Structure 1
Amino acid sequence: MYKTPQKSKLKSIIVKNFDGYLSFQYLIPGKHYKPFQLPQLEKYRQTEEIKLREDQERIFETLLKYYPIVSLRDHGFVVPKNQEDIIPYCRQLHTVYDYEGLALSGIDVLFENFMDGISILTSTNGLKWDDVILTLGIRYCDITKQNTAYIAKNYHDLTEAKKTKRIAILPALEAASILENEVDRVDVLYGLGIRCMGITYNEANTLGAGLIEKNDSGLTKFGYKVVERMNLLGMVIDISHCGDQTSLDVIEASRAPVFITHAGARTIWNSPRMKSDEVLKACAAKGGIIGVCAAPNTTLSSKNPNEHSIESVMEHLEYLIDLVGIDHVGLGPDTFFGDHVGLQHAFDDMLSLSESHGESFEESPYVKGLENPTEAMKNMIKWMIKHDYKIQDIQKIIGGNAMRVLRGILN
């Protein structure tokens, strides 16, 4: 059973309000839902400590206290410790969300897709409409019972997070597959709080081609309708998992800047999961933002393919800065609490859906230095401070750029 101590013994800087609430604590484990063995305090321990000088620590504390910190993709979802528990755990609606871990993260605005559990529930036919509604509803219910995080509906809501020492969660969907061929479902999702949606995941859908498809014919006629509707509503468009031609079509079709919430540069790591220079430059030229991903076994580097660490992730960041300019770069770590790789394997096996990574590599169980949401954003900030980034540039990367563009999109 998942328990959180009343007083954390961690040395982390707690910058958010946390009242000790446990996910679904209003229910009785064993009676209302089945409890599973989940990771305890070890999920907060850094896999790699980034030590700063005293003057650098002051810069770090200043950034956490005064500047908006935006994660373009992270998860409060807690994955079970045992591999065999992952699918049964995800098949029940009552999956644990780690409010304390997020309170320790320093994140102000969190792009969260809430579909982590429901991904395992689905068949090879893809996400079901009713499943999405149930998953959103049960998570919203749990969020309503606590005071650390809240659902953000507009730009003003995002700006309140730092002021109130809480976390503004911007609900997102990984892909628009559940629309099938009904464009009005975009409006329904917006009404249910969704403010960001991917066009495709990895496979093709009625809107366009995903990144694992050999033949990418681009955005479909229905896809163009969806892009138009998302623009009219004020919903962020995400192309992280789209194929190249579909990505380019979306960027051209959208009246608003497009986000790549969690990806990296294919020049650094030759994988369909990464983005080509052409797509990256097109996204930036339209005013979009590219979030650097730190999910295990994604933003690797051909310089050292068998060790996934913060160094390989930040190599993507530095390449993107050189390629598109610092005003178009952000952070989208895409981290979990618990066994992220185990969840991905369960997801792939269940759906017979695996990404093609291009180059060969030895799989890493986690990214050294970026293991979970508690440490990821803070360590990326510390890395930039240690590498003598100007405070003005760090401020842009950790949230300033994203907030600037979101102000023009969210109604």
Structure 2
Amino acid sequence: MSKTIKQGNQKIYDGYKSFQYLEPGIDYKEFKLSKENDRVEPYTYPVSETQEETVQQILEEDYIISMHEHTFVMPEKLEEFYEFRHHGRDWTGFEALSQSGLDVIFENFMDGTAMITSKAGWKWSDVIHDIGIRFSDIAHQDMVIKAERISDLYRAKKERKIAFVGALESCTMIENELDRLDILYGFGIRTMGVVYSEANQLGSGLREPNDGGLTVFGKQAVRRMNQLGITIDVSHAGDKTSLDTIEASEKPVTINHAGARALWDTKRLKPDDVIKACAEKGGVIAIEAAPHTTITPNNLTHSIESYMEHFEYVANLVGIDHVAFGPDTLFGDHVGIHDLLSGQLSIKSSHGANSYPKVEYVKGLENPAECFPNIIRWLVNKGYSREDIRKVAGANILRVLEATWAK
């Protein structure tokens, strides 16, 4: 591009930093945090000047939604991560998000690593603490708004703000207590995975050698989430548990951060029958970009090219109306934290035995602020119609939320 064009859809941001209402060193321990912007060399997907103008118009006019992110800022020193998590206070990358082009973010917190009382994560008290601290911080600024109803999503864009949707990747913390779903809904949670990689009371995760499917309690939990208006997700569930959940739910179910196992044979990605079942029920499959997940034989080095190959495969398999994006990024060294938590988060299990070159970061999809401008550039460059881009950038997700959230 010969001309620099101002990023579209910038938000009204007043410079707020997380917890600036408290006194560092007195009210909380300070940690040096990763850079929100320019931690690695910035990458702009190459397009022509005319195409870039179209990209900026799309960012400005259409709803841009990420169905899966972790917008917290990691400590710069990975050796401090466990202590950082034990303190139970996560910073949000507000400045970078103001330039992300995003209108709606599904925030999945960090509860697999909620380590205030336990190193195992997913404890009820730790999850409640995590949610409360983040929403307390959000309540002290104006750019990001807590989204609890569909109207909040539409209002955010009109007001040049970002709608922050509370999400959890697992129901593990509810144990065998259905009413805990109501409590989480009351705190603002609007989408939940039935299970993370390890089995829980609802069913089997992708790590388990044997998948017994959705349990009796799992079916009760699915029914309660339908009643409450919590969108159900099966991204980390085993294949049978995923299919059982889709069948048991009266409403559409999502796969909000995954890819196609047909392209890369690991349990972390979904087989065709699960993808098809999700789409046939009216759901949406959002493509995952966490390091070393959505790679392919054609693009072994994980980048936006391998990522979009998964997007196109799913779109061709089930139709453009059932695909979207859930990059699953964060602010900090994502590869480094995977290495540190390889056992904790079942990362080795999900990557499988395939051989691939290790990257330091996913070029073009490094953090929540970089992803969507590059995704839109890729789509424009490849000749996707404005209507199809509108669907995959946000409209498909909005349709599912209209069908699953309380009116």
- Both structures adopt the same fold (TM-score exceeding 0.5): yes
Q: CA deviation at 1:26?
A: 1.1
State whether structure 2 residue 51 is matched by structure 1 residue 56: yes
Q: CA deviation at 1:40?
A: 2.9
Q: Is the 8 A contact 1:77 1:116 kept in 2?
A: no
Q: CA deviation at 1:43?
A: 3.4
Partner deviation per Cα, 1:319-360 (whole Å, 9 max, x = no partner): 001100000000000011111122233333457774332212
State whether structure 2 residue 125 is matched by structure 1 residue 160: no
Q: 1:308 aligns with which of 302, 320, 325?
A: 302
Counterparts of residues 340-351 of structure 1 (less than 5 Å): 340-350=334-344
Q: Secondary structure at the match of 2:148?
A: coil
Q: 2:368 aligns with which of 361, 370, 373?
A: 373
Unaligned ranges ≥5, structure 2: none
- Once the two structures are overlaid, the 10-residue window that deviates more, 256-265 or 75-84, is 75-84
Aligned to 1:87: 82
Q: 1:280 aligns with which of 275, 278, 301?
A: 275
Q: 1:336 aligns with which of 330, 339, 342?
A: 330
Q: Is the 8 A contact 1:209 1:216 kept in 2?
A: yes
Distance 1:64 1:44, change over 3 A: farther
Distance 1:375 1:125, change over 3 A: closer
Counterparts of residues 7-406 of structure 1 (less than 5 Å): 12-13=7-8, 15-40=10-35, 42-43=37-38, 47-115=42-110, 118-121=113-116, 123=118, 126-305=121-300, 307-350=301-344, 354-358=348-352, 359-406=354-401
User: Match for 1:182: what amino acid?
Assistant: E
Q: Is the 8 A contact 1:216 1:245 kept in 2?
A: yes
Q: Is the 8 A contact 2:299 2:305 kept in 1?
A: no
Distance in 1 of aligned mates of 2:115 and 2:355: 26
Q: CA deviation at 1:118?
A: 4.3
Q: Is the 8 A contact 2:262 2:272 kept in 1?
A: yes
Q: CA deviation at 1:303?
A: 2.1
Q: CA deviation at 1:53?
A: 1.8
- Once the two structures are overlaid, the 10-residue window that deviates more, 40-49 or 133-142, is 40-49
How many residues are matched? 402
User: Match for 1:23: what amino acid?
Assistant: S
Q: Secondary structure at the match of 2:91?
A: coil
Distance in 2 of aligned mates of 1:29 and 1:124: 25
Distance in 2 of aligned mates of 1:66 and 1:364: 34
Q: Secondary structure at the match of 1:404?
A: helix
Q: CA deviation at 1:399?
A: 0.3
Distance 1:40 1:16, change over 3 A: same
Q: Is the 8 A contact 1:120 1:350 kept in 2?
A: no
Q: Is the 8 A contact 1:124 1:351 kept in 2?
A: no
Q: CA deviation at 1:216?
A: 0.3
Q: CA deviation at 1:124?
A: 6.0
Q: CA deviation at 1:121?
A: 4.2
Distance 1:121 1:43, change over 3 A: farther
Q: Is the 8 A contact 1:15 1:106 kept in 2?
A: yes
User: Match for 1:335: what amino acid?
Assistant: T
Distance 1:326 1:297, change over 3 A: same
Q: CA deviation at 1:75?
A: 1.9
Unaligned ranges ≥5, structure 1: 1-9
- Once the two structures are overlaid, the 10-residue window that deviates more, 166-175 or 38-47, is 38-47
Q: CA deviation at 1:62?
A: 1.4
Q: CA deviation at 1:54?
A: 2.4
Q: Is the 8 A contact 2:96 2:369 kept in 1?
A: yes
Aligned to 1:5: none
Q: Is the 8 A contact 2:12 2:143 kept in 1?
A: yes
